Amino acid sequence: MNSAILRLGVRSLVGRARVYLMLALPVLLVLLALLLRSLAGADFGPGDKIGFLKVFGVGVVVPIVTLIATSTLISSELDDGSIIYLLSKPVPRIAIVASKAVVILAAVVLFAAVPLGLAGLILAGGSDRIALGAFAGALLSGTAYVGIFIVLATLLKRSVVGALVYWLVWESTLSSLIGPVKWLSARAWGSSVIDSISTVSSDAKGVPWWYAVLTMLIAVLAGVFLAGRRLSSMTLSDE
């Protein structure tokens, strides 16, 4: 880690207009939770509550927040050339990536995992451990997305488009339609953790929670390593 890069990353993240979109998503999530609680009432059972948290929370809020943070701290700097400032410093490239990954993960916790846990509390209170499962599931899937999106940001020229295609095609479509894909889906990993922590019985057969934790660790560590290698192969003349 590098403390200077951490500080620069936080300033860059909160100093751009994109932070308002990251703030709008959790606010919308909480407002929808309040609306569902007031309108649906008893008809909105535990299974429906978990379904909402999985579909809109883990399936939409978590990846979009992660993508916005990643595009702000990595994709934008590569596109506008400001990454040259960091590449010119005597700092290991892996430290640059790891420091930015920590800031992105902090944004995921603040703008995705905590609001998802709060939405769970609004919908279910402390019953069935739904809120705890929602927080843990969002944290796990968000951490995996950090590794995935960082790699895409350093490998692809149009990384935001590539990340959106990945999210819409692989995560949102194929993982829902083709069973084996869920074993390689960050969304499915987060949903599996929600199911394993909550006491609500689910008919859906997800991946084991220990597998979700293991693959999340592999995704984020491999993502940081590969992105660091990619930056190491860059030169100022390339930029």
Domain residue limits, the chain: 3-233
* pLDDT over 60 (residue 221): yes
Please answer whether residues 9 and 99 qualify as being in contact, where contact means their C-beta atoms are separated by less than 8 angstroms. Answer: yes
pLDDT at 193: 93
> What is the gyration radius of the CA atoms in the chain, in angstroms?
18
* pLDDT over 60 (residue 238): no
Kindly report, residue by residue over 142-170, the tens digit of the pLDDT. 999 999 999 998 887 777 888 889 888 98
Kindly report, residue by residue over 178-211, the tens digit of the pLDDT. 878 889 999 999 999 999 998 876 666 778 989 9
Amino acid at 80: D
- Our CA dihedral for 76, 77, 82, 86, rounded to 10 degrees, sits at 170
85: number of CA atoms within 13 Å, CB side? 8
Please answer whether residues 152 and 146 qualify as being in contact, where contact means their C-beta atoms are separated by less than 8 angstroms. Answer: no
pLDDT at 41: 63
pLDDT at 47: 82
Mean predicted confidence (pLDDT) in 6-19:
76
pLDDT at 2: 67
